[in-house]
Amino acid sequence: SSELTQDPALSVALGQTVRITCQGDSLRYYYASWYQQKPGQAPVLVNYGKNSRPSGIPDRFSGSNSGITASLTITGAQAEDEADYYCSSRDNSGNHFPKFGGGTKLTVL
């Protein structure tokens, strides 16, 4: 399958840890990248590659990869982390085009 599958919604208590997952066969061959999108705003890259963060992204955002699953872990979730999160990778069916998961809406309780 060329799809990237994410849980539609997750919740986490303030200060707790949450793992957002992304599954797809292409993740055997390509690392995932992760984007945070708050309402009315453009997406922002928060993690990519083996576990890299752009400048300015807090270190509570970490990424990992295992087999067909990529994960974004938020350790000590803050109220401002409430957002939609999208994973992205490449299609492994031949064209290697970028593709996105369906997104996970994270609620911080």
Partner 1 sequence: QVQLVESGGGVVTPGGSLRLSCAASGFTFSDYYMNWIRQAPGKGLEWISYISDSGSPIQYAASVKGRFTISRDNADNSLYLQLNSLRAEDTAIYYCARDHSGSYPAFDLWGQGTTVTVSS
**Span of 10-18, 73-81, 93-101 interacting with partner 1 by CB under 8 A:** 93-101
Q: Does 33 bind partner 1 (CB under 8 A)?
A: yes
102 touching partner 1, by CB under 8 A? yes
SS3 per-residue string spanning the chain: CCCCEECCEEEECCCCCEEEEEECHHHHCCCCEEEEECCCCCCEEEEECCCECCCCCCCCEEEEEECCEEEEEECCCCHHHCEEEEEEEECCCCCCCEEECCCEEEEEC
Between 14 and 23, CB nearer to partner 1 = 23
Out of 43, 60, 62, 92, which residue is the one contacting partner 1 (CB under 8 A)?
43
Q: Which residues bind partner 1 (CB under 8 A)?
A: 30-31, 33, 35, 41-45, 48-50, 52, 54, 86, 88-90, 95, 97-103
